[in-house]
């Protein structure tokens, strides 16, 4: 099977799209938070590759064209943000204050939990950038002496968890204001969470996009300080 698929450049893309479509159908049928299209697609792709003994490289040969579009797509997050600039201007104190509280909570909670689990310095700094966008987070982990590959995995898992969590958590904790929802999602689960915020509404999406940028920068500044604690 692997050999046959090695000759295909469309296999990876087809598998990604079909499993995502399957995930959307699941969510439509059952309104259950774990039936998250992204999570279903990822799990289904991995199971498929394992079941048919297909290498990740073979899959990636086709799927890399999806990854290729990630930078242009992130650039385009500027469009909803531009359309919401007046909202940003009018509420900048709340937005900045919220993001700052989020970054500090992330550092603080990771420090406490890492101490409880008796993690060493390298493991601790690998976790510190977990809530920010992959490309920035990798740089932070590398600079502080963490494990870059694991850091990428942790960032992706955090994003997926945030994407799943966002709807329920905002409902239970009565976070109802669109700006607050967007800032909360973007600060905790970067671009993968932002996908969910975009589904919720334009203000949520724009604020989440903004939070990726600002929490990323604040983490670059703050992580070296917090890294010294453990």
Partner 1 sequence: MKYIRQFAIILTISFIGEGCHFFIPLPIPASIYGLLILLFALRAGIVRVESVQDVGRFLVEIMPLMFIPAAVGLMETWPLLEPVFVPFLVILVVSTILVMAVTGWCTQGILRLEEKKKKESRTYE
Taking the least distance from each CB to partner 1, the nearer of 4 and 104 is 104
Would you say 211 and 162 are in contact if contact means Cβ atoms under 8 Å apart? no
Q: What is the DSSP letter of 77?
A: T
User: Under the criterion CB under 8 A, does residue 102 sit at the interface with partner 1?
Assistant: yes
User: Under the criterion CB under 8 A, does residue 153 sit at the interface with partner 1?
Assistant: yes
Stretch in the footprint of partner 1 (CB under 8 A) among 3-11, 26-34, 149-157: 149-157
User: Under the criterion CB under 8 A, does residue 75 sit at the interface with partner 1?
Assistant: yes
User: Under the criterion CB under 8 A, does residue 86 sit at the interface with partner 1?
Assistant: no
Whether the CA torsion 166, 170, 176, 179 is positive or negative: it is negative
User: Under the criterion CB under 8 A, does residue 115 sit at the interface with partner 1?
Assistant: no
User: Under the criterion CB under 8 A, does residue 42 sit at the interface with partner 1?
Assistant: yes
Q: How far apart are CA 154 and CA 207, in angstroms?
A: 23
Applying CB under 8 A, which of residues 3, 7, 31, 50 lies at the interface with partner 1? 50
C-beta of 26: minimal distance to partner 1 in Å? 14
* Cα separations in angstroms, 183 against 3, 95, 180, 228: 46, 7, 5, 28
Stretch in the footprint of partner 1 (CB under 8 A) among 3-11, 27-35, 60-68: 60-68
- The encoded tokens of residue 157 equal 């898992």
Applying CB under 8 A, which of residues 2, 4, 70, 145 lies at the interface with partner 1? 70
Would you say 195 and 163 are in contact if contact means Cβ atoms under 8 Å apart? yes
**Which phi and psi angles does 78 have, rounded to 5°?**
-65, -25
C-beta of 31: minimal distance to partner 1 in Å? 18
User: Under the criterion CB under 8 A, does residue 22 sit at the interface with partner 1?
Assistant: no
Segments in 77-147 forming alpha helices (H): 78-83, 85-90, 92-116, 121-127, 134-144
User: How many residues sit close enough to partner 1 to count as binding (CB under 8 A)?
Assistant: 106
Q: How far apart are CA 32 and CA 47, in angstroms?
A: 21
User: Under the criterion CB under 8 A, does residue 146 sit at the interface with partner 1?
Assistant: no
Q: Which of residues 191-220 bind partner 1 (CB under 8 A)?
A: 191-192, 195, 198, 205, 209, 211-213, 216-217, 220
Q: What is the DSSP letter of 132?
A: S
Q: How far apart are CA 140 and CA 135, in angstroms?
A: 9
Coil, helix or strand at residue 131: coil
C-beta of 1: minimal distance to partner 1 in Å? 16
Stretch in the footprint of partner 1 (CB under 8 A) among 3-11, 12-20, 25-33: 12-20
Q: Which of residues 154-193 bind partner 1 (CB under 8 A)?
A: 154, 156-162, 165-166, 169-170, 173, 175-177, 179-181, 183-185, 187-189, 191-192
């Amino acid at each position: 099977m692997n050999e046959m698929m090695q000759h295909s450049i469309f296999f990876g893309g087809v598998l990604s799209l079909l499993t995502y479509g399957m995930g959307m159908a699941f969510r439509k049928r059952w309104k259950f938070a774990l039936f998250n299209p992204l999570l279903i697609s990822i799990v289904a792709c991995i199971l498929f590759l394992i079941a048919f003994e297909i290498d990740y490289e073979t899959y990636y040969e086709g799927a890399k064209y999806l990854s290729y579009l990630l930078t242009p797509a992130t650039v385009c997050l500027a469009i909803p943000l531009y359309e919401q600039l007046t909202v940003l201007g009018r509420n900048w104190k709340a937005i900045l204050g919220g993001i700052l509280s989020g970054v500090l909570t992330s550092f603080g909670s990771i420090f406490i939990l890492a101490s409880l689990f008796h993690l060493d310095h390298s493991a601790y700094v690998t976790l510190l950038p977990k809530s920010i966008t992959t490309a920035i987070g990798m740089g932070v982990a590398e600079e502080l002496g963490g494990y870059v590959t694991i850091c990428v995995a942790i960032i992706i898992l955090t994003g997926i968890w945030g994407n799943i969590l966002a709807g329920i958590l905002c409902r239970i904790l009565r976070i109802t204001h669109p700006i607050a929802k967007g800032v909360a999602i973007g600060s905790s689960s970067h671009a993968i969470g932002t996908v969910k915020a975009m589904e919720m509404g334009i203000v949520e999406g724009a604020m989440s996009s903004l939070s990726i940028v600002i929490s990323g920068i604040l983490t670059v500044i703050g992580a070296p300080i917090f890294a010294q604690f453990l």
